[in-house]
Amino acid sequence: MCQKVRREYAPGEQEALMIGILRGTPDDVQWHERYDAASDLEEFPSDAVVAALAEFACDPTQPDETFVALCAESIAGIWVHRGAVDHDLLSRLTPWARREAEATVAHRAPELLTR
């Protein structure tokens, strides 16, 4: 029988690896890997993760609306986890990302939108 071996990560290592995938180019990272990283980063509510996701969610030149939406959804999930919306960042999100973030917060913790 084969046993799965689970790798142990040093603190911050997983999020750094996923940020690297998020920032990857089509030459070195496939689109579905970037989508997965954008979604999975919600589980790492650090300022570095929010900043990395915001790079894409605030960039009006990003051509992939699905990727932008996944980044915005993860940012919103982090806000829900933290119990507060960063209204400055919310105002800087692209219109597509802002709609996604507001919808996510409205669904998970609507009281945060009125604070």
Q: What is the pLDDT of residue 29?
A: 92
Q: How far apart are CA 80 and CA 92, in angstroms?
A: 18
Q: Evaluate whether residue 6 is within a structural domain.
A: no
Q: Evaluate whether residue 5 is within a structural domain.
A: no
Q: Evaluate whether residue 4 is within a structural domain.
A: no
Give the number of other Cβ atoms within 10 Å of residue 74's Cβ. Answer: 28
Residue span of the structural domain in which 105 resides: 13-114
Q: Evaluate whether residue 23 is within a structural domain.
A: yes
Q: Evaluate whether residue 30 is within a structural domain.
A: yes
**Domain tally for the chain?**
1
Which residues lie below 8 Å from residue 103, measured CB to CB, with a gap of 6+? none
Structure tokens given for 44: 């790492």
Q: What is the pLDDT of residue 7?
A: 79
Q: Evaluate whether residue 42 is within a structural domain.
A: yes
Q: What is the pLDDT of residue 5?
A: 75
Which tens digits make up the pLDDT trace of 13-62? 999 999 999 999 888 999 999 999 999 999 999 999 999 999 999 999 99
Q: Evaluate whether residue 49 is within a structural domain.
A: yes
Q: Evaluate whether residue 72 is within a structural domain.
A: yes
